[in-house]
Amino acid sequence: MTIQPRLYNGTRDLLPADMLPRERVLAEFRRSFQLFGFAPVETPALEYLEILTGKYGDDEAQLLYRLDYRNDDPARRLALRYDLTVPLARLVALHPELPLPFKRYQLQPVWRADRPQPHQGRYREFMQCDLDTVGSTSLSADAEIVAVCADLLGKLELPGFVIRLNHRRLLGAIVELAGLDADQEGMVCGAVDKLDKVGLEGVRRELGQRGLAEAAVARVLELITLPVDFADPAALAARLADHPAGRQALDELRELHAQLLALGVAGAHLKLDLSLARGLSYYTGPIFETVLPALPHMGSLMGGGRYDGLVGMFLGRDLPAVGATLGLDRILTALAQLRPGAVALTPTRVLVSRSFPETDALALQLAARLRASGVPTEIALEPGKLKKQLAYADKQGIPWVLVLGPDEAAQGLVSVRDMRGGSQQTLALAGLVVDQFS
């Protein structure tokens, strides 16, 4: 009786062909984060349920994985973390000794109980790559976060990525100017967020269906479709003339934009977009999100914003914060869809074959020498037919095979076979140039 091997939907095994590109991208992430002075942390997969609840919005109850463990005691209920931002807020509140501003990055999986859609890079267990600055109200903190993300997306050669920028208080101003109550903001933003997907009429229909008066709908649509441009937001600014908070939010976005340009982010990647809303309820200031025009079915690859009230929920006093999340799995899915091609199955560059007892020790010594020079090297673990060893190298995509038999050994030589081209040459064993293998 064997147990049926199976995977929970929305989780996956990552094979070498998945992990090798993944590790490359992760290394790039770490490098960029540290280059901007962010330091790594990790937090537990498990948190007390009460830490996580009440932070994420309407669908939270449905999406949070609660653990069926000590469910009798409400104070001890546990859940799998849903993101890395709330655990960070909890961490900061628990470590008041940390010097501020605290700049940290965190690369860890999170869990969400929604319906998986692999083609959209959507899973129940997925890796989030977070970057946050806690303890600064400066717009430079916001700018830095966005700049790191732009830097990374550029390095990964994601074509034409667009960072949409908006401001929570600007959305609030629009709702007020449309003559609506503040408690309708969430609903309005939710509908407005779909503008680029369902179009103007789609948004109009949804707002109508949700009970908004026609006149109010018209005012909302008029405001969010105002021609907006960082360089010349005149029309919007005019409409906000009598709304100081909205006016200030717009000024903040313009300042953010100016700093991003100064930090070297290309203006073509930046777009002021009044329809960007974002569902997480903890955002309070500038918000941003990145999608790829080439892959409209894919959700956002990166998203974030300022959340000045979240840490205060744990600390008792507000501590400002701003951060972003990069979706590693989604980025890798996007890259695979945009640039399909052969992927490596192994890091091995050289296979040292073994078919001859009399030169076996010599072959092992050769492998040791290559490794000492930094060349990822395998030895044939089961000496035998050379044919099988070559077939193995071929299937694994190992580019070089070395053959060191009695013929070669007698003259101090080694045969070097190029598996991709199919050519082979015999070189002096002592003068082997390892550079050609790396």
Partner RNA sequence: GUGGAUGUAGCUCAGUCGGUUAGAGCGCCUGGUUGUGGCCCAGGAGGUCGUGGGUUCAAGUCCCAUCUUCCACCCCA
Could you list the residues that contact RNA (CB under 7 A)? 6-10, 57, 59, 62-63, 83, 112, 114-124, 126, 128, 190, 193-194, 197-198, 277-280, 289, 297, 299-303, 325-327, 329-330, 355, 385-388, 390-391, 393-395, 403, 405-408, 415, 417-422, 424
Residue number, 5 or 96, with CB nearest to RNA: 5
Task: Say which residue the tokens 């052969």 belong to.
Answer: 342
- Return the closest-CA partner of residue 14 out of 338, 394, 329: 329
- Return the closest-CA partner of residue 355 out of 405, 407, 390: 405
Residue number, 41 or 390, with CB nearest to RNA: 390
Burial (0-12, 13-18, 19+ Cβ within 10 Å), 337 = middle
Q: How far is the CB of 358 from RNA (least distance, A)?
A: 10
Q: How far is the CB of 305 from RNA (least distance, A)?
A: 9
- Return the closest-CA partner of residue 194 out of 205, 203, 207, 182: 203
C-alpha angle 126/27/324, rounded to 5°? 55
b/e map 219-235, b = 16+ CB within 10 Å? bbbebbebebebeebee
Q: How far is the CB of 43 from RNA (least distance, A)?
A: 16
Residue number, 217 or 236, with CB nearest to RNA: 217
Residue number, 236 or 270, with CB nearest to RNA: 270
Q: How far is the CB of 247 from RNA (least distance, A)?
A: 26
Residue number, 233 or 323, with CB nearest to RNA: 323
Q: Is the Cβ–Cβ distance between 429 and 408 less than 8 Å? A: yes
- Asked if the peptide bond before residue 116 counts as cis, ω within 30 degrees of 0, the response is no
d(CA 150, CA 163): 8
Residue number, 140 or 281, with CB nearest to RNA: 281
Q: How far is the CB of 72 from RNA (least distance, A)?
A: 25
194: three-class secondary structure by DSSP: coil
What tokens appear for 400 in the block? Answer: 């070089």
Residue number, 377 or 389, with CB nearest to RNA: 389
Q: Which residues contact 78 (CB under 8 A, 6 or more apart)?
A: 46, 47, 48, 49, 66, 67, 69, 70
Q: How far is the CB of 319 from RNA (least distance, A)?
A: 20
What tokens appear for 411 in the block? Answer: 């003259």
Question: What single DSSP character describes residue 66?
Answer: B
Q: How far is the CB of 161 from RNA (least distance, A)?
A: 12
Residue number, 60 or 255, with CB nearest to RNA: 60
Q: How far is the CB of 19 from RNA (least distance, A)?
A: 17
